[in-house]
Amino acid sequence: MADYVQPTVDVPALTTLLDGEYAAVRDTVRKHLAQHAGIVVDEQTMGRDEFRERVRDLVVEAADAGLTGYGFPKEYGGGGDVGASIAAFETLAFGDLSALVKFGVQFGLFGGAILQLGSERHHAAYLSDLISGRLMGCFAMTETGHGSNVQALGTTATYDAATQEFVITTPDRSARKDYIGNAARHAELAVVFAQLLPAPEAASEGVHAFVVPLRKKGLGKDGEPLPGVRIEDCGHKMGLSGVDNGRIWFDGVRVPREALLNRFADVTADGVYTSEIENPNRRFFTMLGTLVQGRVSVGGAGINAAKVALTIALRYAERRRQFETGAEEGDGEEEQLLLDYGMHQRRLLPLLARTYALHFAQEIVAGQLHDVLSGVTTEERDRRALESRAAGTKALGSWHATRTIQECREACGGAGYLSANRFAALKADTDVFTTFEGDNHVLLQLVAKGLLTDYSSEFSDLDQLGMVRFVAELAVETVIERTSVHKLFERVKDLLPGGDDWDQEAGLLDSNYQLAMLRYREEHMLAGVARRLKRGVDDGMKPGAVFSRVQDHVIGAARAHVERLVLEAFVAKVAKTEDGDNKVALGLLCDLYALSVIEADRGWFMEHGRLSSQRAKAITREVMDLCRKVRPLAVDLADAFGVPEELLQVELLETS
Amino acid sequence: MADYVQPTVDVPALTTLLDGEYAAVRDTVRKHLAQHAGIVVDEQTMGRDEFRERVRDLVVEAADAGLTGYGFPKEYGGGGDVGASIAAFETLAFGDLSALVKFGVQFGLFGGAILQLGSERHHAAYLSDLISGRLMGCFAMTETGHGSNVQALGTTATYDAATQEFVITTPDRSARKDYIGNAARHAELAVVFAQLLPAPEAASEGVHAFVVPLRKKGLGKDGEPLPGVRIEDCGHKMGLSGVDNGRIWFDGVRVPREALLNRFADVTADGVYTSEIENPNRRFFTMLGTLVQGRVSVGGAGINAAKVALTIALRYAERRRQFETGAEEGDGEEEQLLLDYGMHQRRLLPLLARTYALHFAQEIVAGQLHDVLSGVTTEERDRRALESRAAGTKALGSWHATRTIQECREACGGAGYLSANRFAALKADTDVFTTFEGDNHVLLQLVAKGLLTDYSSEFSDLDQLGMVRFVAELAVETVIERTSVHKLFERVKDLLPGGDDWDQEAGLLDSNYQLAMLRYREEHMLAGVARRLKRGVDDGMKPGAVFSRVQDHVIGAARAHVERLVLEAFVAKVAKTEDGDNKVALGLLCDLYALSVIEADRGWFMEHGRLSSQRAKAITREVMDLCRKVRPLAVDLADAFGVPEELLQVELLETS
């Protein structure tokens, strides 16, 4: 690197690169956020009830500004562009996150369920009203007793052929709908997930979705629940105080037969259940697949919330001085800027690099979502790969938000603790991202299942125990063969020097080396999981016990897989960037991300013979060196995220 | 371990062991907390102003219950027992943390400053009133522009010999007092830290503390600031909403000469500055040393807040079932308890073990604090070792709280996000523990300085740059000699088998092996820091730049040191415990703590030739095995912390 020349970041050009295809949509949303930046102050100063109304109004204002329809069909007033809707949602995450989540509940979950699970009659009845915010709804899936295991929901929808109605009932406390956003106050309708019984005493055909009125149109006093519906506020939450989460009980509420969202299954007037998807598990997972948009959205929102925190913390670190005057020792050194401290660089700059990496990974998954939902691709396998990728990016993106916001808060000291400096809300509001729209650990298990079954359509609807049996009995050889080390070596041997010693000889900053390391880790872990599953079953353990013992390896393999995908996305983006200083800067960040990932798991690489202790130490030195190179660019790199200045008017960045 | 028999925990006996010497004090506080358990609901339901008054009342009620005087001299109505005061404070951390912090500000910081920096006249004037809560005060040290670097405070106290008064002035915005607890509403007096100028235009004699009235006695309308004092509320914070943090400006406020807390320095009537401590740096650090009690308190509070989170999360994990019915596959496995999942064990049980470890480490530092403040030991070196140990335990204890509460929240899913389940307040309130009473990174630097200078009294008052020069020029050989590997080997050779191969041959569950590993890491890191400092200075770099480059090694060495102290505390406690099931259970936790620490840093151990890859993998297997052994005991082990049941009446533990 003797010829290394420190680059200068062209901030607007980098913003354009980050914004990508939907730059215009993102800018429209930025303007909207700037106009309504006061919401982040309202969040701190208003009482809960007042703030909830403010947030509701803001959602309607977003509709007026044309931000809510991007993903819906044009015939109902939408834009017909799923990618645009994701870009809009991601960008909204720079602002208040109660407004974001309320927006997501209304247009993503409620609207998305109507759109994707319903048929023409539901679209015609609801879509244009819901896009405009005139019709507010909620998505009533989760129950107190069943969060992740949706197949076991307790709410029932029993068909009564005499009246051609479904009767919706909450049989016990554990089956009450819980944590339902928009339910406590504003939703007029609910999409309710319930066990469909074609007749009283019949067996359930599995979980299906129904449109159930909760309130008469209108709010306030007119908004009392309808007969048979009981609604309770979930009460105070850690964050997202502007979202009215509630609990719902149904006591024999009757809805017409047509209330069933019948894209994938229906019940005839005389009570015969029909579906084009014969396997009930498959049918269930197909319906659940409609959740994928929510996961892509939450992942992107987490990544963008992290950008806000980093922008504030990095700007602060470049103006705040701390220690040592050194005056009395007479050398006249003035207090150093926080960002000149090695530890401060170490704390923040790898997180900056990881934010860039996740941004580009998110861009890919959002593009895949667009292609699947728009019918650009109709391959079942693509849909399954998307589900897996959405799950993985959501998990890593939301954990990244939690970790980054925490580190940024601490890096701003006591000032970071004041709500006026935004970390309080960022932290409290994003906290739930790690467990809603799918618990992160459960999502990573989904990722692993896809890898272990190679997204094969016959097996992707397996539950965990089915997966254990399938891998142990049928797939173990396939997995081991597919992930075998010699195959990886074949793939890298033309890219890297050193032959079989590629991992010793390649340059640390060679992205082929970095990728080979992450691929090796992923494939080795995956094969290890397959072997362990088989061994457990062969030893006569119950599948549940086998899964429990192997669970942390399962999750580790999934995480390794997603980190590899993220690096691939970043490397590909750098490769496509035209030569110049911005490419150099992105290259530094990409190396910093890759080597930070390897460094963090260097114990594993050493255990598995892929890293000598000398080389491990060299990686740590390189990470430090990269931090020093990124340091002068750091604030520009954060500014390129394009968080509206109006949302960065925080106390700790005021000049005295 | 073929003869391993699963122990049964005797919960009351284990509580007695944990409570230690001050069991009676802890039980008194538990009763008080149980009586006032409604405060954790008030925190969720009251508005800020109302809750602040409630918290203030609760502090006075604590005084009425006799909980506030333990650490003060008997002649002023106190108990004369510092250890008891720490035990009381730690136990209060099971309850609402606004009340805890308000208590700490009033009796620890304000009361502690009067006691330890003041002389007889101040004690007589204030102590009995402040113990009873009749006189509320605050501790006005931090300024907007100066958090960690207290020596550079901008507030001035200029002596006016004509009137025998000090004139207190805030020269600019960066010198306003900031984040001062009790200031916005309730404090009648402030202990103000300011540069002492013996005459106008004179040079500062350094930072000293003064008693300055802020308000007339009485609150509400009578509580307006006195002339020359301006007070502003810090506004909404992430947590601790019951604490009235404020900003204070002084505009030429005059206080009598006797307002100087004059234990270590004084000014004569005609303006001559006198002090028994000649070196101004030494004098400053001596005064600052009085902060040590606050650090011991915060560390203990963090550890106890983590206990609350663990108790809730473990109880929940032992009743909540998730996945797989497996029913349709006909094997009749019912949904597993969360705590039966391997990943859930991995997430929570090492944190449980670390909580026990930190508890016993905290017990030691609290005992040392008692001995130093009670005059049981008067050695300067002991005081410096205490300061270091308090700093280190506070840093690790507060980070542990942040991490543990976060993991417990996620482990409870969406229910964990509801304020009714306590994680919201636990998380938001403890968050600031990592940066107040000394930023954790700055504290670890203090620990490292003590290690590098061997707590020698001549050098312990060095600032960072002085430390760099001292180590580089004078101490490098001493540090390297003191920490040399052959010395460690000599110490362990009689304890461990294998001779020079001790690290390969010893049993993983041999605590001498575990301790030797942690000692090796600490000493190797410390010697590395010394070498790096010397190399930087030898290369002609400025001390500030040298420090920046080495900073993460400095902090790493300090962390390694504290983790070793923590393990020593745990090992010693297990050794002293009488034989029986509780000892077996503690032994499991101690092994789990030790091996988790080694596992987390196994990359480092492998890099430095102390761990083969085979042995590293064996440690991971052993950690898993220990988790499985601890699993059946986990709830009992948490129950033994003795969090009052009244504080565990949370929604997610209700039976349906």
Tens-place pLDDT, residues A157-201: 999 999 999 999 999 999 999 999 999 999 999 999 999 999 999
Q: Which residue has the tokens 């006016």?
A: B160
Average pLDDT over residues A30-49: 95
What type of residue sits at position A509? L
Alpha carbon distance A346, A443 (integer Å): 30
Of A47, A149, A423, the CB nearest to B238: A423
Give the tokens for residue B490: 């000599």
Residue B233, strand partner residues: B246
Task: Show residues of chain B in contact with A555, CB under 8 Å.
Answer: 343
Which of A585-594, B325-334, B543-552 has the weakest average pLDDT?
B325-334
Cβ pair A548:B172 closer than 8 A = no
Cβ pair A47:B45 closer than 8 A = no
C-alpha distances out from residue B141 to B155, B206, B488, Å: 9, 13, 43
Cβ pair B413:A147 closer than 8 A = yes
Scored b (16 or more CB within 10 A) or e, B312-346 reads: bbbbbbbebbbbbbbeeeeeebebbbbbbbbbbbb
Give the tokens for residue A576: 């496509």
Average pLDDT over residues B466-493: 79
Per-residue pLDDT at B327: 39
B410 → chain A, closest CA residue:
A435
B605 → chain A, closest CA residue:
A603
Q: Is A190 helix (H, G, I), strand (E, B) or coil?
A: strand
Q: Is B133 helix (H, G, I), strand (E, B) or coil?
A: coil
- Check residue A109 and report its DSSP letter: I
Q: Residue B325 — very low, low, confident or very high, per pLDDT cuts 50/70/90?
A: very low
pLDDT digits (tens, 9 = 90+) for A104-114: 999 999 999 99
Of B172, B423, B599, the CB nearest to A238: B423
Average pLDDT over residues B22-29: 98
pLDDT digits (tens, 9 = 90+) for A512-534: 999 999 999 999 999 999 999 99
Whether residue A329 is predicted with pLDDT greater than 90 in this model: the reply is: no
Of B179, B340, B410, the CB nearest to A414: B179
Cβ pair B613:A606 closer than 8 A = yes
Cβ pair A342:B414 closer than 8 A = no
Per-residue pLDDT at A330: 43
Angle at B77 between CA B73 and CA B82, to 5 degrees: 40
Tell me if A441 sits within 8 A of B343, measured CB to CB: yes
Of A148, A435, A550, the CB nearest to B322: A148
Cβ pair B419:A236 closer than 8 A = yes
Of B417, B466, B551, the CB nearest to A431: B417
pLDDT digits (tens, 9 = 90+) for A367-392: 999 999 998 988 888 888 999 999 99
Q: Which residues does A87 contact at the CB level (< 8 Å), separation at least 6?
A: A20, A21, A22, A25, A26, A29, A70, A366
**All structural domains of chain B:** 11-132 (1.10.540.10), 137-276 (2.40.110.10)
Give the tokens for residue B156: 């001035």
Task: Show residues of chain A in contact with B141, CB under 8 Å.
Answer: none
Provide the phi-psi class of B201: left if phi over 0, else alpha when psi is between -120 and 50, else beta: left
Give the tokens for residue A200: 């009283």
Q: Which residue stretches of A76-230 are H helix?
A: 82-92, 97-103, 111-117, 120-132
pLDDT digits (tens, 9 = 90+) for B142-167: 999 887 788 889 999 999 999 999 99
Alpha carbon distance B81, B376 (integer Å): 12
Q: Residue B461 — very low, low, confident or very high, per pLDDT cuts 50/70/90?
A: low
Per-residue pLDDT at A606: 96
Average pLDDT over residues A482-506: 78
10 Å CB burial of residue B2 (0-12, 13-18, 19+) is: exposed
A556 → chain B, closest CA residue:
B343
Alpha carbon distance B279, B290 (integer Å): 18
Per-residue pLDDT at B321: 78
Whether residue B561 is predicted with pLDDT greater than 70 in this model: the reply is: yes
Whether residue B484 is predicted with pLDDT greater than 80 in this model: the reply is: no
Per-residue pLDDT at A333: 53
Whether residue A290 is predicted with pLDDT greater than 80 in this model: the reply is: no
Give the minimum alpha-carbon distance from B499 to chain A in angstroms, rounded to a whole number: 23
Of A238, A548, A613, the CB nearest to B424: A238
The rounded percent of chain B whose pLDDT value lies above 70 is 95
Task: Show residues of chain A in contact with B326, CB under 8 Å.
Answer: 463, 465, 543-544
Average pLDDT over residues A240-267: 97
The rounded percent of chain B whose pLDDT value lies above 90 is 79
Average pLDDT over residues A268-277: 95
Give the minimum alpha-carbon distance from B554 to chain A in angstroms, rounded to a whole number: 10
Cβ pair B606:A603 closer than 8 A = yes
Which of A120-124, A279-283, A361-365, B296-300 has the weakest average pLDDT?
A279-283
The rounded percent of chain A whose pLDDT value lies above 70 is 95
Cβ pair A419:B237 closer than 8 A = yes
Alpha carbon distance A518, B618 (integer Å): 23
Alpha carbon distance A354, A567 (integer Å): 9
Tell me if B223 sits within 8 A of B52, measured CB to CB: no
Alpha carbon distance A529, A523 (integer Å): 10
Tell me if A186 sits within 8 A of A179, measured CB to CB: no
Angle at A450 between CA A446 and CA A453, to 5 degrees: 130
Per-residue pLDDT at B333: 53
Give the tokens for residue B220: 């509400």
Per-residue pLDDT at B174: 92
Residue A352, strand partner residues: none
Average pLDDT over residues B540-547: 90
Of A148, A325, A340, the CB nearest to B548: A340
**Cα B367 to chain centroid, rounded:** 14
Give the minimum alpha-carbon distance from A405 to chain B in angstroms, rounded to a whole number: 12
Cβ pair A603:B608 closer than 8 A = no
Residues listed for chain B: 656
Cβ pair B551:A235 closer than 8 A = no
Angle at B170 between CA B462 and CA A338, to 5 degrees: 45
Per-residue pLDDT at B284: 85
Average pLDDT over residues A248-276: 97
Residue B232, strand partner residues: B247
Q: Residue A543 — very low, low, confident or very high, per pLDDT cuts 50/70/90?
A: confident
Of A179, A420, A603, the CB nearest to B414: A179
Alpha carbon distance A410, A417 (integer Å): 8
Give the minimum alpha-carbon distance from B413 to chain A in angstroms, rounded to a whole number: 6
Tell me if A213 sits within 8 A of A226, measured CB to CB: yes
The C-alpha torsion from A509 through A511 and A516 to A518, rounded to 10°, is: 80
Tell me if B585 sits within 8 A of B631, measured CB to CB: no
Alpha carbon distance A84, B631 (integer Å): 48
Tell me if B289 sits within 8 A of B116, measured CB to CB: no
For residue B596, count other CB atoms closer than 10 A to its CB.
Answer: 22
Interface with B, mutate which of A324, A346, A550, A626 (most B CBs under 10 A): A324
Average pLDDT over residues A290-301: 93
Provide the phi-psi class of B346: left if phi over 0, else alpha when psi is between -120 and 50, else beta: alpha
Alpha carbon distance B304, B82 (integer Å): 19
Give the tokens for residue B94: 């099971």
Per-residue pLDDT at A221: 46
Cβ pair B548:A342 closer than 8 A = yes
The C-alpha torsion from A375 through A378 and A381 to A387, rounded to 10°, is: 20
Cβ pair A440:B464 closer than 8 A = no
Q: Which residues does A262 contact at the CB level (< 8 Å), separation at least 6?
A: A118, A119
Interface with B, mutate which of A232, A336, A607 (most B CBs under 10 A): A607
Whether residue B425 is predicted with pLDDT greater than 50 in this model: the reply is: yes
**A497 vs A585: which has the higher pLDDT:** A585
Across A182-196, A284-298, B530-544, which has the greatest mean pLDDT? A182-196
For residue A414, count other CB atoms closer than 10 A to its CB.
Answer: 20
Average pLDDT over residues A59-73: 96
Which of A473-477, B21-25, B220-224 has the weakest average pLDDT?
B220-224
Cβ pair A331:B552 closer than 8 A = no
Task: Show residues of chain A in contact with B342, CB under 8 Å.
Answer: 548-552
The rounded percent of chain A whose pLDDT value lies above 90 is 79
Alpha carbon distance A440, A147 (integer Å): 12
Beta-carbon pairs below 8 A across chains A and B: 235
Alpha carbon distance A401, A647 (integer Å): 18
B338 → chain A, closest CA residue:
A548
Cβ pair A238:B551 closer than 8 A = no
Tell me if A293 sits within 8 A of A250, measured CB to CB: no
**B644 vs A329: which has the higher pLDDT:** B644
3-state secondary structure B606-651: HHCCCCCHHHHHHHHHHHHHHHHHHHHHHHHHHHCCCCCHHHHCCH
Q: Residue A334 — very low, low, confident or very high, per pLDDT cuts 50/70/90?
A: low
Per-residue pLDDT at B145: 87
Average pLDDT over residues A75-104: 97
Per-residue pLDDT at A326: 40
Whether residue A300 is predicted with pLDDT greater than 90 in this model: the reply is: yes
Whether residue B1 is predicted with pLDDT greater than 60 in this model: the reply is: no
Instruction: List, as one string, the DSSP characters of A233-285.
Output: E---BSS-TTS--EEEEEEEEEEEGGGB--SSEEE-TTS-EEES--SHHHHHH
Alpha carbon distance A105, A102 (integer Å): 5
pLDDT digits (tens, 9 = 90+) for B75-101: 999 999 999 999 999 999 999 999 999
